[in-house]
Amino acid sequence: MAIISFLAQKGGVGKSSLARLVAVEASRLKLQVAIADLDTRQSSCVAWLERRQESGPRRRQVKVVSAAGADEVLKLAGEFDLVVVDGAPHSSPVSLDVARLSDLIVIPTGLSLDDLDPAAVLVNNLIGAGIDRGRIVISLYAIADSKPELAAAREYLDRGGYTVLPGEIQFRTSYQKASDRGLTISEIPQYPTLRKRAFDMSSAIVDAIPS
């Protein structure tokens, strides 16, 4: 059993998109996977699953559970091979409790300082709360098509000693449309390059779980 949590201090940075990606790709590997949706107000993964079921009943389905607290996540971890936690828009005491239970914490961020700084602050807060640095990684998500900006962001994070996953996910309408249809960002066969980047990001996340 493993728990991977997608957390952020900012809303709209890609937590749900990455959580759904990893959940569906892991379930293709015959793992029993559940998504724990901590956003009990919006329950966006619950709504996404409904769209998924409507868009194709034969599509690979994953279990989505609305979870208000760490106890529920722990209970799911006893029942499933992998629990993927989709964090609420802002970090909270509940997300800290869930972070403590997690084998891996993934923090998505864009490239601007307005995105990078809150991501760095969250990593520091988690480490300050006693969470092992080796269990926290940053994923560059919904980024602009600027190589200099990407290099600057990676350098900024490297200098701070943060672990950044290999690869990036660009900002693309096709990824957003996939989500609107109840798909993951890897379920876009008409865009093989984007599809592969999403698949590679999912693999990088799973590979980052400390053994």
Ligand X SMILES: Nc1ncnc2c1ncn2[C@@H]1O[C@H](COP(=O)(O)OP(=O)(O)OP(=O)(O)O)[C@@H](O)[C@H]1O
Residue 142's binding partner among ligand X, Mg ion, none (Cβ under 5 to 8 angstroms by kind) is: ligand X
Q: Does 109 bind Mg ion (CB under 5 A)?
A: no
Choosing from 7, 67, 99, 169, the residue that interacts with ligand X (CB under 6 A) is 169
Q: Is the dihedral of CA 1, 203, 179, 56 positive or negative?
A: negative
Residue 103: exposed, middle, or buried by beta-carbon count in 10 A (0-12, 13-18, 19+)?
Answer: middle
By beta-carbon proximity to Mg ion, the closer residue of 16 and 109 is 16
- Put the strands of the sheet holding 2-6 in their side by side order: 63-66, 33-37, 82-86, 2-6, 104-109, 136-143, 164-170
In the numeric block, which tokens belong to residue 108?
A: 């998505």
- Should residue 172 be labelled a site residue for ligand X when binding is judged by CB under 6 A? yes
Q: At closest approach, how far in Å is the CB of 76 from ligand X?
A: 19
Out of 4, 5, 9, 16, the only residue in the binding site for ligand X (CB under 6 A) is 16
Stretch 16-45 residues interacting with Mg ion (CB under 5 A): 16, 44
The stretches of the chain forming alpha helices (DSSP H) are 15-28, 44-55, 70-79, 93-101, 113-128, 147-159, 173-180, 192-207
Q: Does 11 bind ligand X (CB under 6 A)?
A: yes
| Residue placing its CB nearer to Mg ion in the complex, 44 or 202 | 44
For residue 125, what are its two tokens? 């807060």
Say whether residue 144 binds ligand X (CB under 6 A): no
Pick 171 or 191: Cβ nearer ligand X: 171
> Which residue type occupies 73?
V
Give yes or no for residue 9 binding Mg ion (CB under 5 A): no
Report residue 146: phi and psi, to 5°: -130, 110
**Interface size with ligand X, residues (CB under 6 A):** 18
171 binds, among Mg ion, ligand X, none (CB under 5 to 8 A by kind): ligand X
Contact window for ligand X (CB under 6 A) among 6-14, 91-99, 117-125, 154-162: 6-14
What's the token pair of residue 115?
Answer: 């995105």
Whole-angstrom CA distances from 164 to 4, 139, 158 are 16, 6, 8
Task: Provide, rounded to whole angstroms, the least separation between the CB of residue 197 and ligand X.
Answer: 9
Residues that bind ligand X (CB under 6 A): 8, 11-17, 39, 44, 89, 142, 169, 171-172, 175-176, 179
